[in-house]
Structure 1
Amino acid sequence: MAKTASSTKSTAKTAPKKLSATKVEQTKKLQKSAILFPTDLGEKASKDISGAMNSVLADVFALYLKTKNFHWHVSGPHFRDYHLMLDDHGEELFAMTDPIAERVRKLGGTTLRSIGHISKLQSISDNNADYVEPSDMLAELCQDNIKLTSRMRVAHDICDKYNDSATASLIEEWIDQTEKRAWFLFETGRKMDSSGH
């Protein structure tokens, strides 16, 4: 009788350990899967939104580097104004990168891992020319910012589809910033007409 009680106690003690070990294994499997963090939006939403946001992030990095490229290499009579404006734009773009990547992780996805990964996803083309006219720099960056805005609108539509208001609200702020950059680039690059306007 004493042995039976002892063995029952022993079984009772080991049962929680087995249950705990099972939970640990489940967590490990979840961590190794494509969806690294559970979300109430579901796996399909996580995959689609993460994919859209990683594409946005790739373009943000591509545009950031191009903006800094032009910031470093701009020349001519408007050097100071262009140099400072492009530096401000670069800071804005870089400030977007971490929140985008972290949002993807919060949704259970994985995000960009390398320059090679960026190059596979970016739609904004690089500019490796030895020299670019300042006016061409502004025009190219203006069009790139417009392209980035379009890509963010597509991502916003995907967020709306899955009722992901948190990501959508962040995108709305970034769209406003990106439209402002395009506006500044467009107006700065405009040539004065014969009346001086």
Structure 2
Amino acid sequence: MAKDKSGKADLATPNWHAQAREIQAFGTVTADLPHPLDQKVRTEMVKKLNQLLADSIALRDMYKKHHWQVGGPTFYQLHLLFDKHFEEQVDIVDTIAERIQLLGGVTVAMGGDVAEMTKVPRPPKGKEEVPVQISRLLEAHKIIIKECLDISEAADDAGDQGTNDLVVSDVLRPNELQSWFIGQHLVEMPLTFAV
């Protein structure tokens, strides 16, 4: 701690060089959590939920990328829709992360860790055409929807109704709805005349 001229501790100076060991390793769950689910079940659910979280973070960030980089005749509509879906994914990500913590686990959180874990293919840094942007988003949704179905079944088998409810109500259904909304932009429809 810093000291002033008289040798007393200077309490106004921040102590910002703190170092400490990790208090819980990633991939573990706390053993003595007052939760009725067995530690083995919680460990397995946390592992599955962290994968879902990594993929949801990747999808969330892809929505923001495409929001910034979209162009063409449907720019305005897609610019707003991509941002709306981004905000919805922010809530989904937070909900998944809170469930992981509630089960006594540690959430994946940093971009580099997410990039290592995600199953969602990484888009290029540059700008792409709208159909490619939408196709990438649909592929990411497909991955997440499949994970939700797998987690729901595993959670049901393990008696983890909380995780089952979360992945179906808070992740699966919004991802299905978002897929439908963006997928309709790939349906060939004339903009200015009827066929």
TM-score normalised by structure 1 residue count: 0.78
Matched, 1:186 2:180: no
2:126 counterpart SS class: coil
Cα distance in 2, alignment partners of residues 151 and 196 from structure 1: 40
Cα deviation for residue 38 of structure 1 reads: 4.2
Give the structure 1 partner of residue 168 of structure 2.
172
| Partner residue of 1:48 out of 30, 44, 49 | 44
Offset of 1:129 from its aligned partner? 4.0
Cα deviation for residue 67 of structure 1 reads 0.9
* Aligned equivalents of 1:155, 1:65: Cα separation in 2: 23
Gapped regions of structure 1 (runs ≥ 5): 1-30
Question: 2: CA distance between counterparts of 1:136 and 1:178?
Answer: 19
CA contact (8 A) 1:149 1:179 kept: yes
Structure 1 residues 138 and 196, CA gap change in structure 2 (3 angstroms): farther
Deviation track 1:140-185 (CA, whole Å, cap 9, x = no partner) reads 2122112210011111122112111111111112211101111111
Distance 2:59 2:152 in 1: 19
SS in 1 for 2:123: coil
Query: Letter of the aligned partner of 2:29 in structure 1?
Result: I
Residue equivalent to 1:35: 29
- 1:139 Cα deviation after fit: 1.9
CA distance in 2, matches of 1:54, 1:166: 15
Q: Point out where structure 2 has 5 or more consecutive residues left out of the alignment.
A: 1-22
1:63 maps to 2:63: no
- What is the CA RMSD across the aligned residues, in angstroms? 2.0
Matched residue count: 167
User: After TM superposition, where is structure 1 displaced by more than 6 Å over at least 4 residues in a row?
Assistant: none
Alignment of 1:1-197 (within 5 A): 34-36=28-30, 37-173=33-169, 174-192=171-189, 196=194
- Larger Rg belongs to: 1
Residue 168 of structure 2 aligns with an amino acid whose one-letter code is E
Distance 1:113 1:79 in 2: 31
